[in-house]
Structure 1
Amino acid sequence: MSRLLIPVLLLLSAWVAARGADLPQVEVERLPVPGDAPSDIHLGEPVFLRVTVRLPAGYQAAPPQPVAEQDELVVQPGAVPQGSARPGGGMIQVFSFELIPLELGQVTFSGFKVPWRLDGGGAGESVSGPLALTILATIEDPAAATAADIRGPAVIPVPFRLPGWGFGLLLLVLAAGLWFWWWRRRSRPAVTVVPPAVDPFGGLDPAAWALAALDTLARDDVLARGGTVVFHVRLADILRRYLGGRYNVPTLERTTSELVYDAGAQMERLPGSRSSLRDLLMACDLVKFARRKPLPGVSRELLGRTRTFVEETRPRPPVETAVSGS
């Protein structure tokens, strides 16, 4: 009986081994980092893992998951998984993970588990082996660390953003400023710029200026060049300006009749001065407006009469009377 039991046990063991070889397999491999030694794993720095899942034909598997949650390790998925056909049927899937250690010393990662399902029925789970890690400090000799090696938390400046109500308040302040500027400008009294007074007589008294202007008109001899109208226009202008300065009358804005009336009222004490003024202005007006053409001798006589009028109406110094005692 024992001779029959031994072959049966051998056949059963071979069947179980062959059955196990057909199940999905999970392999975990640490990827080296350029510049680091194979054993260099520092606190807080990621450890890159490659998880290879070998699926026989007819098996479908879920993505790998940590066997157990560990407080000293943080597991994050990495790049997009890749898959390729397996020789003899099935598929090989490759996954990337990042393992971040949070404690120093010896740490054992529990590994990955892969739930799978068979197309013909049945389900199970394949588990990789654990991974032992030695976590080093960032400072080579923690005992030699000083306060200068300790860095406080980095201050990340928060960009200033004006809230929605802030824009409304800003517009209100600008509107109030514009209104205040307009109100001040409107309520401020207007500044009237008064141009400096200009002496039309150049520092002379009106009579001296008029006599000098008449001498200049005579020397120009406008009549000899046929300028009869120009002669009488200049003569009338000299006479009007003289009256304006002598009697403080706006003569340039007055007609001949108004000028004779306004100036004549101040010449009552000079007999015949009003009629003489009217005759001089009317003679000039007949040439200026009626286009009369008097002879040159008549015009020169009018110039002499104007000179006589100025000399007779110019201010006279007061006469001093001697009072003898009795």
Structure 2
Amino acid sequence: MTANRRVHRAVSGVALLITVAACTRREQAPAPPTPRVAERSSGPVTARLIVDPPEVQLDRDTLLTIQVSAPSNFAVRLPAVEGRVEGLATAGLFDREPRREGSQRVYERCVRLTPHPAPRHRIAPMAIRWQDPASGEGERWFPTPPLVLAVRPLVSEKPRGVADIFGPVRVRPGVATLLTYTLVLLLLLAAACAPWLLGRRLQRYLKLRRLSPKERALWELEALLARDLPGKGRVKEFYFDLTMIVRRYIERAHGVRAPEQTTEEFLQAVSQDSRFAPQVVARLRDFLSAADLVKYAAVRPEPQAVTAAIATARHYIETDAVEQSRRQQEGHGAG
């Protein structure tokens, strides 16, 4: 008998704990929000707007119920919702069967509204039309009250006592992002260096324009020698540049368009020009003919031949400039 009582007491205690826990959970569960109700009357007719939930929630639809209560012998017309909502789209509607509540008849139109992000969510006034056949008067109407609905945020505030488990994590940029940053940086550097480079090129151009034909040709010759093309195995390129230095000098100093002529055309032109002595034409012929063998016949010159070609070009430029200066002085003296 004692054992049975102990078992009974234990079962009763467990049941009591379960009941208390259930009641505690039930008390902690939030109550559903009360629908928002707006009401307006005109004589014996009353219109109510019922909005459920009372706040706009972007992740769920809003149910709008238009409820009109009027005497049972009145004719009632429910309003259209199209064009009367802002920030909400009509997703469907239906009318319930009118029902009697004492001497009144209740009409209901249920409209499902889908919210979307907007500056505000509003239900504009709608016309409730009614008529009393017994009075003999025409149809009358009155507007429903306007409603501006608040928007409930999708994410509620963080509950108290809840903290982040991890701190902020640095996300490394991807390869495409790094390439984009590198390209932008290179473009910025190019834009910053472009004025400086253009300035240097312009300064160099103006400096060369102020040089005499002799000074410019000797400057070009020193720049060509500094490149050391023969030492790099680029002999053909070296001879092209060397002969062009001589041809450009002749064009600047004597007005003969030597760079645009073939060797034969050039030699024919200078042999008929009194400013070029026969021995000078002979040296130019030997110099250009030897260079053509390297440029066009793939002849590999010895280092001594390269040195001799450089000396020939330098000697011609210097002596021709001296001879030209002498002729100019004689011309001024004769004048």
Normalising by structure 1, report the TM-score: 0.35
Bigger RCO (CA 8 Å, 6+ sep)? 1
Give the number of the structure whose alpha-carbon radius of gyration is greater. Answer: 1
Normalising by structure 2, report the TM-score: 0.34
